[in-house]
Amino acid sequence: MDIQIERTGDVTTIAINRPGRKNAITAAMYQTMADALADAHSDDTVRAILLRGSAGIFCAGNDLEDFLKTPPVGEDAPVFRFLRAISSAEKPLVAAVAGAAVGIGTTMLLHCDLVYAADTATFALPFTQLGLCPEAASSLLLQRVAGYQAAAEKLMLGEAFDAHEALRMGFVNRLLPAAEVDAFALQQAQKLAALPPASLRVTKSLMKRASQHEIQTQMTDEAVHFAKMLLAPAAREAFSAFFEKRKPDFRSIS
């Protein structure tokens, strides 16, 4: 299974398990994760949710082949269902990040309540390098936690950065040795699961309520631009270069 759903006491774990493709996510995987989040939120015995990767990798972003075959069209596209589910989650969300977190592998973390990363983890937001724009409201949320200049550097240049910089930027809570991060994140999720659920729901709601409408609006605006840019010459050149294993040439593209 490319997405494994596990239960440990009161904690549901959603594990991305496609190591042969560096845990790149397909439309079917987005659908499974969206359904798993919905199931977890409708089950009163689930008190917290843990997101993690597998085989020392968190997520390499979208599977580009699948993405181009079945591009997200309309609000019911699996990727948008997943983003709505993770951005509006009422129960505590904890993430354990080891290895690479690329594209949505990083932007989904901005919707989690607690994020723990291996000290060897790496992050990247290469949207502009692909002729695209940010998604998951990252154009809004990243600058809120990191400041405009730090967010602009990561979103505009799209260059990879390490776990220590992610910690300084503020969207990672703590760094741990790679061999310990999954167990520690589960332990933190179990601590949350042991607390009164209503207290956690209300606390999270109070912290997020003011920005919830803005986040949903930003995601919608990003999706409109993203869909248009996906069909534009810059993206076609970027994807062609990726599959041909060459450097893209944007000099003739305005």
Average pLDDT over the chain, rounded to whole? 96
Please state the rounded mean pLDDT for residues 180-204.
98
Of 70 and 97, more confident: 97
Residue 71, pLDDT score: 86
Rounded to 5 degrees, what are φ and ψ at 217? Answer: -65, -40
Please state the rounded mean pLDDT for residues 207-213.
93
Task: Look at the alpha carbons of 73, 31, 190, 120 in this order and tell me if their dihedral is positive or negative.
Answer: negative
> At 69, is the pLDDT very low, low, confident or very high (cuts 50, 70, 90)?
confident
> At 75, is the pLDDT very low, low, confident or very high (cuts 50, 70, 90)?
confident
Q: What are the sequence ranges of the domains in the chain?
A: 3-179
The C-alpha angle with vertex 232 and arms to 86 and 219, in degrees rounded to 5, equals 20
| Cα–Cα distance measured from residue 154 to residue 25, given in angstroms and rounded to the nearest whole number | 21
Residue 59 DSSP label: B
Instruction: Please state which CATH number belongs to domain 3-179.
Output: 3.90.226.10
Question: How far is the CA of 172 from the CAs of 36, 40, 132, in angstroms?
Answer: 24, 24, 25
| Cα–Cα distance measured from residue 162 to residue 124, given in angstroms and rounded to the nearest whole number | 9
| Cα–Cα distance measured from residue 63 to residue 2, given in angstroms and rounded to the nearest whole number | 12
How much is the pTM?
A: 0.96
Q: Which tens digits make up the pLDDT trace of 111-160?
A: 999 999 999 999 999 999 999 999 999 999 999 999 999 999 999 999 99
> Taking Cα atoms as reference points, which of 105, 115, 117 lies closest to residue 22?
105
**Mind giving me the DSSP string for 5-33?**
EEEETTEEEEEE--GGGTTPBPHHHHHHH
Enumerate helices (H) and strands (E) in the chain, giving the number of each.
10, 9
